[in-house]
Amino acid sequence: MVHVGVVAERPKIKGKRIRMMKVMNARVLWGVGTARTVRVHWALAELGLQYRSVPIEARTPAMEEDVFRKVSPLGKIPVLEDGALVLSESPAIVTYLAERYSFLDNRLIPDSVLDRARYFEWLSFISMELDATSIYVLRRHVGLPEIYGDAPNASAVARDYFARMIGSVVTRLPTEGPYLLGQQFSGVDILMTSCLDIAERYDLKVPEPFKHYRERVAQRPAYAAAIAANQPQ
């Protein structure tokens, strides 16, 4: 049986408003232990949202149980249940939470059309060029060779591609403001930082400006809260 861990109250973050729920069971996050699950824990923490965490891990027997397959037919984590909505894919979940629960003094997605265009540009770049094309290849063939096989040529190409892609956007880092969109922290900072965390794990080449960027973002209290919430039990 899947163990359900209840987060009774999200950690308070100085200067942020904690949004309370009347019904705790209305919001459930399935998944812990991966860079993709931590993204959703982080977004929930940034927005001060309460939720129930089901600490199911990837590639475990619990993923084959009916209770999980009902919410995730693909057998993937993370999955968010928010009332009647069931949503998968971490970039989509982070953006949904940003769209629905951001408030005036704490927005995870911009209001203006132009800034939103930049948000989705970064989201697409991070999800496709860094994560899917590079990191996921290494996750399979370096992190899990016993399952997916050892593929040194593919891994080498993935490393080179990551270095080329992350290097190509150094000049896109704002000169004013610590985040990808300048002064405003947003969902794309969550996605980028999670990728940079994995890059360190696989010893990928990261330009110095992005190393400094990651250090700044990782100082946010919600980041530490998310890392703690994402730990397997």
Q: According to CATH, where is 3.40.30.10 located in the chain?
A: 5-107
Dihedral of alpha carbons 68, 126, 194, 16, sign: negative
The closest alpha carbon to 213, from 143, 122, 94, 111, belongs to 122
Tokens, residue 8: 């009774």
Predicted confidence (pLDDT) per residue in 77-136, tens digit: 999 999 999 999 999 999 999 999 999 889 999 999 999 999 999 999 999 999 999 999
Pick the CATH number of 5-107 from 1.20.120.450, 3.40.30.10, 3.40.50.970, 3.30.1950.10: 3.40.30.10
pTM value is 0.88
SS3 label, residue 81: strand
CA separation for the pair 93, 41 (Å, rounded): 10
Q: For domain 113-222, say whether CATH 3.40.50.880 is its number.
A: no
* Amino acid found at 19: R
The closest alpha carbon to 172, from 210, 229, 115, 127, belongs to 210
Q: According to CATH, where is 1.20.1050.10 located in the chain?
A: 113-222
Rg (CA), the chain: 18
Q: How far is CA 208 from the centre of its chain?
A: 22
Tokens, residue 43: 């977004």
Report residue 59: phi and psi, to 5°.
Answer: 55, 45
Q: Say if strands 5-6 and 52-54 run parallel, antiparallel, or are unpaired.
A: antiparallel
Predicted confidence (pLDDT) per residue in 8-59, tens digit: 333 333 333 333 333 445 899 999 999 999 999 999 999 999 999 999 999 9
